[in-house]
A and B are shown apart, each in its own frame.
Chain A
């Protein structure tokens, strides 16, 4: 039976080293490039016609645009419009990473914590900078709940602060864990089909269901990642 975690192995395609740091072009980088190229091609080619009555491809692109635009309007408000390019790029990058991974023989870059944590920490640091730039030290007031006695600040503020700092970790681990677990389950189940021969029909039926579930999770995780970005942005922009 094939090793179920072998699919996550990073293999350098173009070995490269700059200043003692390994910056090889790996299979992970390759699929990131593929995702970016596909997303760009999908969006530019589908709206090329600029039809008033959108065709199939154009309505798909418009659906994505409106989905993210509504998400920003509902969660951040009209002031969030200028962050739309960033949020939309993030959504497409995670979504294409998750969906590309569902094609057999591809590599799922969102199943690596280095990638998801990199994305999460960029969001976290960016949002914190926006918050401090807009509100100055006033932003720190958010960490103290309204109406609590002042004497409790010494314990409440550190707890809220740690809760705030643990957010990029939880965001990154959630995306990574969901993708990794799903792919391992798929691989193990597929191994059972081969091993059981004719009786393999049972795991095969199960595998069909799990594959559908995995597509659902791929979409859901991209959504979760994006909506959390919107919520952080909302907090950084509107301070109550």
Chain B
């Protein structure tokens, strides 16, 4: 159950944060809706990256490369 919750949460959190950043930038720069679209997909990529980390047992180090190096250690 733990892993299921983890993966589900990562999926939502990445997309939510990405969209939120996009929406904020859009409001700030007045470029509706382009940055929201771009950051939605970047957020989706980030959430897949986080899920990849979770299922491979990598920890939450900053940057994927460093997480992999720590795992090997």
Contacts and interface: CB of A to CB of B under 8 A. Distances in A.
> A and B: partners?
yes
Interface of A: 142-147, 155, 158-160, 162-167, 169-170, 173-174, 177-178, 181, 217, 220, 228, 231-232, 234-235, 240
B47 A166 contact: yes
A142 B63 contact: yes
B63 A231 contact: no
Interface of B is mostly: helix
B45 to A, nearest CB: 5
Contacts of A240: 66, 69
B5 A164 contact: no
Contacts of B14: 162-163, 166
Give the interface size class of chain B.
20 to 34
Interface of A is mostly: helix
Contacts of B18: 162, 166
Contact of B65 (A145, A163, A173): A145
B62 A142 contact: yes
A27 B4 CA distance: 31
A177 B69 CA distance: 30
Contacts of A145: 63-65
A162 B17 contact: yes
The listed residue with most B CB atoms (<10 A of its CB), out of A143, A177, A217, A235, is A235
Contacts of B21: 162, 165
6 contacts: A142-B66, A162-B18, A163-B49, A163-B50, A167-B60, A235-B62
A228 B67 CA distance: 13
A166 B16 contact: yes
Given A143-B62, A228-B60, 12 more contacts: A144-B63, A145-B63, A145-B64, A155-B42, A160-B62, A163-B47, A166-B17, A166-B18, A170-B10, A170-B50, A231-B60, A235-B66
A25 B25 CA distance: 37
A100 to B, nearest CB: 22
A158 B42 contact: yes
Contacts of A158: 39, 42
A147 B17 CA distance: 27
Given A142-B63, A145-B65, A169-B17, A162 B46 contact: yes
B66 A170 contact: no
B27 interface: no
Contact of B13 (A144, A155, A169): A169
A101 to B, nearest CB: 17
Contacts of B59: 231
A132 to B, nearest CB: 12
Nearest to B6: A174
Interface in B1-36: 2, 5-6, 9-10, 12-14, 16-18, 21
A232 B13 contact: no
Contacts of A163: 14, 46-47, 49-50
Given A158-B42, A178-B5, A166 B63 contact: no
